[in-house]
Amino acid sequence: MTAAEFLEAHTLPFTLVFVRMGSIFVLTPVFNIAELPRRVKGWTAAALALVVYPFTAPFLPPVAGFGPVYLLHLFQSALVGILIGLIVQVYYTSFLMAGEFYSLQLGFGIVNVLDPLSATSIPILGQLKSLFAIIVFILIGGHRMVIEALIYSFKAVPVFGIAAARPLAAVMVGSLREMFIIAFQIAAPMMGTIFLVELVLGILSKMAPQMNIMVAGFQIKIAVGLIILLMIIPAIYTVVDNTFYHSFLVIRAVLRSMA
């Protein structure tokens, strides 16, 4: 086989892998950093697609040539990639929500910082939770799991079926519900502690009206909140670890339901 024949035989199938990889880059944490130039993202997606192409080639649909059927395959490939990234992003968002709960409890709700991952302003403790989740995501090999999910997607879903729409919607609704549950579980220790602090401060304000409870209470809540945050970091690490692992189990379940 000549070089020209090799390129002709593999260019269109490789493009399917590249499109799915690029779609994953749109939403998946670490890969979708807003500060990263688009050109760098594109070349990185192309390089990773080139690496995984030999593993996905046996599962790719036959490509007769560029035409309506191939365009449909491109659309299907992009849709599956976006789905993989969306599921991971939904669970990742739960940590941002927990950080916002923290910020509101400690009075940091008006203090916003720029999140380099999304290029939006979020509460300062939301940024802390975001960076912590990204670090854990890398430590547990989440970026490798995303690539494994990509390879598995071609094995499980060579062609996207419209019959998967109903179970897919159910899974997404369940993921959104779990997002709020996880965020509340992470924020519950802080919210409960701050509630008790405010209760004690309220009692003190009634017992000693001459005390400036408002000024002192703000400092006390911040100090107590930061101490609690330091104490529960190991537990947060476990929750983040389990959440990302669970997200990839959900991805596999969704891909199997789409087969």
Name the band, by pLDDT with cuts 50, 70 and 90, for residue 162: very low
pLDDT tens-digit profile of 34-51? 666 777 777 878 888 788
Domain ranges in the chain? 3-258
Is the confidence at residue 92, as pLDDT, over 70? yes
H-type alpha helices, 68-141: 68-106, 124-139
> What pLDDT score was predicted for residue 8?
57
From 99, 100, 14, 26, select the one nearest 60 (Cα to Cα).
14
> What pLDDT score was predicted for residue 35?
66
- Distance from the Cα of residue 172 to its chain's centroid: 13
Is the confidence at residue 6, as pLDDT, over 70? no
Q: How far apart are CA 21 and CA 84, in angstroms?
A: 10
> What pLDDT score was predicted for residue 138?
78
> What pLDDT score was predicted for residue 245?
80
Q: State which H helix or E strand residue 245 sits in.
A: helix 233-258
Higher pLDDT, 20 or 258: 20
Q: Decide: 94 and 186 in contact? Cβ < 8 Å.
A: yes
User: Rounded to two decimals, what is the model's pTM?
Assistant: 0.72
Is the confidence at residue 231, as pLDDT, over 80? yes
